[in-house]
Structure 1
Amino acid sequence: MLSERAEVQVRPGTEEDLQALTDLYNHYVRETAITFDTAIFAPEERRPWLLSHLEDGPYRLMVATGADTDTDTRKVLGYATSSPFRAKPAYATSVETSVYVAPDAGRRGVGTLLYKALFEALAGEDLHRAYAGIAQPNEASARLHERFGFRYVGTYREVGRKFGRYWDVAWYEKEL
């Protein structure tokens, strides 16, 4: 595991990542209830999202890359973001965080590396709390969040409908 983790690099996301990030997110849109989006995106539709995550400030995008042995380049293994929790001004010191890891990169510590980098980047920001909503069931995500000091605060029951069924979302919070 250490040698695989050593090959993973985490850095701020850039416009050059747009296609790979869109492809990764679309996997979760098509195949899972982890996101409640139901239609896939074209990269241009995701550009405003990408551009809303700057290299400084409270809204960040961290990207993990690893060696792609087929092309001798680096490929996106996952990403983590902090985004506005809600649009109203009094929520400005709260962020919502998320992590998406490529299906073939799971169980390699990529999510841990991404969250570590994200929370280090946010350390100097004027933030009070981070929140994460986890569609249920998702024990791996719950464990990751708990490792980073998130605590369970409640569940919205049957709050989203996707794939012909209703899904619960468990909410976690972390003091920053």
Structure 2
Amino acid sequence: MSTIMFKTIEASDIPALMDIYNHFVMNSTASFHTEPVTITEFTESVIHPNSRFQTFVITLDGELQGYVQVMPHKKKQAYATTGEVTIYLQPGCVGKGIGSAAIQFIETFAKEQDFHSLISTICADNKPSIHMFSKNGYTQCAHFREVGFKWGKFLDIVTYQKII
């Protein structure tokens, strides 16, 4: 049986995780970046000075699969009990249960950090992510039309939420 593990991100993990993220930048609408991010940009997106917000590396049988994180939803103080969940996995990881395990792991961590609500903002074209969050109890609470523009077309985003 395969073993999925999570560990707090370390500086040595950043280049490999950035490669996963940049794959989606260049090959999908999962990210609204239109050019690869730099090591500095990526580091700033996965390392937060407040320990309530964390990024965890995901491995399957010791092999790097991606990352999951809970980060601030907004900077204003009243949003302190809401976190934004992001998951990026190696291409080809769909259907192995890694995404669902990552959601369950980050929800447990978020509860320990006194979060009340988790959200995920997803490109409406990203059916696998929508399916993954839906099957884990997240419900769509917003749909913003044509808010992104990538590869010559306007893109919608949807927001999924779960009260934990």
- Assess same fold via TM > 0.5: yes
Residue identity in the other structure for 2:35: A
Secondary structure (helix, strand or coil) at the match of 2:6 reads: strand
Aligned to 2:40: 44
Aligned to 2:24: 28
Does the CA contact (< 8 Å) of 1:62 and 1:117 recur in 2? Answer: no
> 1:88 aligned to 2:76?
yes
Residue identity in the other structure for 1:47: T
Whole-Å Cα distance in 1 between the matches of residues 68 and 152 of structure 2? 28
Percent identity of equivalent pairs:
25
Whole-Å Cα distance in 2 between the matches of residues 52 and 23 of structure 1? 20
Whole-Å Cα distance in 2 between the matches of residues 49 and 141 of structure 1? 20
Does the CA contact (< 8 Å) of 1:29 and 1:36 recur in 2? Answer: yes
Whole-Å Cα distance in 2 between the matches of residues 111 and 51 of structure 1? 21
Aligned to 1:61: 55
Cα offset for 1:53?
Answer: 7.0
Cα offset for 1:75?
Answer: 3.5
**How many corresponding residue pairs?**
164
Does the CA contact (< 8 Å) of 2:47 and 2:54 recur in 1? Answer: no
Gaps of 5+ in 2: none
Whole-Å Cα distance in 1 between the matches of residues 160 and 10 of structure 2? 28
Aligned to 1:160: 148
Gaps of 5+ in 1: 68-73
Does the CA contact (< 8 Å) of 1:53 and 1:83 recur in 2? Answer: no
TM-score (normalised: structure 1): 0.85
Aligned to 2:111: 123
> 1:171 aligned to 2:164?
no
Aligned to 1:71: none
Cα offset for 1:101?
Answer: 1.1
Secondary structure (helix, strand or coil) at the match of 2:92 reads: helix
TM-score (normalised: structure 2): 0.91
Aligned to 1:78: 66
> 1:19 aligned to 2:15?
yes
Cα offset for 1:30?
Answer: 0.6
Does the CA contact (< 8 Å) of 1:84 and 1:95 recur in 2? Answer: yes
Secondary structure (helix, strand or coil) at the match of 1:77 reads: strand
Residue identity in the other structure for 1:24: I
| Superposed counterparts of 1:96-111, under 5 Å | 96-111=84-99
**1:72-99 CA distances to partner (integer Å, 9 max, x unpaired)?**
xx43211111111111122111111111
The equivalent position to 1:136 in structure 2, one of 124, 142, 160, is 124
